[in-house]
Structure 1
Amino acid sequence: MKLHTRCNNCDAVNEFEVILFVDSHCHLDRLELDKLGLTLQQVLDNARQRQVEHLLCVSVSLAEYPAMAELVAPFSEVSVSCGEHPLHQTDSVDAELLLQLAAQQQVVAVGETGLDYFYNPDSKLSQQDAFVKHIDVARQLQKPLIIHTRDARADTIALMKAHAAADAGGVLHCFTENYEMAKAALDLGFYISLSGIMTFRNASELREVVRKLPLDRLLIETDAPYLAPVPHRGKTNQPAYVTDVAAAMAEIKAVSLVELAQQTSANFYSLFPLAAAKRKAA
């Protein structure tokens, strides 16, 4: 089997040896399928045609989690997380409900959770409380954390340290912060995930951060339906486009697309063993 994949900066099509990608973070339940003119099956078929073998559909709300889990349940290539995004919480997160839902066998990770002071600085205290609850649940269940952080570098790392987030492990997803924060997360045993933002014209500083990070601690993601990478800017993002994210990272890291795909996929399955088990059983 060979992958036909589009180059990052051109329309040429190349052939490579077997390459399998993982979209480590997407929101399939938030795709506006009617606007795309696609069914969810077709979205996943598009991804499969570009050799995306597994996807992690990430929860942003405990209230919406059951419907999300039901939506993707028929698809063996999709794993799920459970948590409440800092920008989606309206009241204090119900720790007991989080524990109950996240304990389900199909849940491979806790989150997404974290801190976002860029969009909602007035809710710092409630965000911090929710973040700590997610860390505690992840530690109890021994499931990794999916962490969202924006304009909250010091507090994010401080809470991770104070509440022993390293006991659960996890990933800082859609990373856009500086190298110092990335290094602090790496030192706690966390992974760093990069999205299509890496391909944006104004993301030169982020590309420099990526260049410094070890390949064996990196993941790739789409964060679909948001943040479509070049050459798809302005379109609804899809898991199929994770191959374009991978191509950009391979260029930044000066490695082959084969090596990039193999390493980031291995990283994903190492971090999320329940997803690895689901893939093996499929």
Structure 2
Amino acid sequence: MITFIDTHVHLNADQYDEDLQQVIDRALAANVEKMVVIGFDRKTIQRAMQLVDQYEFIYAVIGWHPVDAIDCTEAELQWIEQLAAHPKVVGIGETGLDYYWDKSPKDVQEYWFRQQIRLAQKLNLPIIIHNRDATGDVVRILREENAASVGGIMHCFGGSVETARECIAMNFMISLGGPVTFKNAKQPKEVAKEIPLSHLLIETDAPYLAPHPYRGKRNEPSLVPLVAEEIARLKEIPLDEVAKVTTQNAKRFFKLDV
């Protein structure tokens, strides 16, 4: 049976308050065998930890989002470190830089980004990277902090093939989501074609960035096969190969089923 892993989903978002169980049931019916829920502030981290205890097939990544970096404190980071002792916490993030929104000053974002890289290194966990309009600085900081020592994921990657290769050289996986299915998404499609399947993961980032033909609607993990289908089309390979390799990649990367 073909199965998929959604490596980045926000089942802890308010958008699922009314029908979370149905959303999860639809994902399982679509052969999404595991889901990694991202907690990125106090509320969503708490919800992510509840979900990993409630569902055997859900794992968590916890950290502090760059948009909300101004709200982070040393106490929050210590709390994240304590929670990360849970065996189903499989990464630190999403962290990084976001120059699109201006809630948090760039220097504050950079400070907490570096602190979370160092925390990931201390805990020997991979780092999940959020990057919006900040590619040069993200890559520079990852290099300066020797992030390759633990590696990570470039979540919902929207950069160039050249940047993807730079990140792969630093021990990072490239994760593609709904945008790869958008008709005007030139760079994600090029990345899907050019980057070896061995370095790719798939995700939804649900409830955001629903793939075509659901663009603009609430996303959910049951739609992650559409991402895999588009990668298979672009690479001109069978869907089951994309599903098999990206699932293996996710299990190896997050040390699932070990």
Q: TM-score, normalised by structure 2?
A: 0.94
What is the alpha-carbon distance in structure 2 between the residues aligned to residue 252 and residue 93 of structure 1? 43
Q: Secondary structure at the match of 2:157?
A: coil
Greater C-alpha radius of gyration: 1
Within the candidate set 65, 69, 73, 2:49 is matched to 69
Within the candidate set 22, 28, 31, 1:51 is matched to 31
What is the alpha-carbon distance in structure 2 between the residues aligned to residue 106 and residue 53 of structure 1? 15
What is the alpha-carbon distance in structure 1 between the residues aligned to residue 184 and residue 250 of structure 2? 28
Q: Secondary structure at the match of 1:125?
A: helix
Aligned residues of 1:24 and 1:219 also touching (Cα < 8 A)? yes
Structure 1: which amino acid aligns with 2:163?
M
Q: How does 1:63-212 map to 2 (within 5 A)?
A: 63-94=43-74, 95-120=77-102, 123-212=105-194
Cα offsets for 1:247-279 (capped at 9, x unmatched): 011111111000000000011011101x333xx
Structure 2: which amino acid aligns with 1:28?
L
Distance 1:102 1:62, change over 3 A: farther
Cα offsets for 1:107-137 (capped at 9, x unmatched): 1110110111122386111111111111101
What is the alpha-carbon distance in structure 1 between the residues aligned to residue 199 and residue 73 of structure 2? 30
Answer yes or no: is 1:235 the counterpart of 2:235.
no
Q: TM-score, normalised by structure 1?
A: 0.86
- In the alignment, structure 1 segments of 5+ residues that lack a partner are 1-17, 278-282
Q: Indicate the percent of aligned positions where both proteins have the same amino acid.
A: 39
Q: How does 1:24-43 map to 2 (within 5 A)?
A: 24-33=7-16, 38=19, 40-43=20-23
Answer yes or no: is 1:224 the counterpart of 2:195.
no
Distance 1:71 1:266, change over 3 A: closer
CA shift, 1:44, in A, is: 1.1
Aligned residues of 1:85 and 1:114 also touching (Cα < 8 A)? yes
Aligned residues of 1:176 and 1:206 also touching (Cα < 8 A)? yes
What is the alpha-carbon distance in structure 1 between the residues aligned to residue 222 and residue 64 of structure 2? 25
Answer yes or no: is 1:22 the counterpart of 2:5.
yes
Aligned residues of 2:117 and 2:147 also touching (Cα < 8 A)? yes
Distance 1:224 1:122, change over 3 A: closer
Paired residue total: 256
Aligned residues of 1:150 and 1:177 also touching (Cα < 8 A)? no
Aligned residues of 1:116 and 1:152 also touching (Cα < 8 A)? yes
CA RMSD of aligned residues (A): 1.6
CA shift, 1:98, in A, is: 2.8
CA shift, 1:25, in A, is: 0.3
CA shift, 1:138, in A, is: 0.6
Q: Secondary structure at the match of 1:73?
A: helix
Runs of 4+ with deviation above 3 angstroms: none
1:6 corresponds in structure 2 to none
Answer yes or no: is 1:276 the counterpart of 2:241.
no
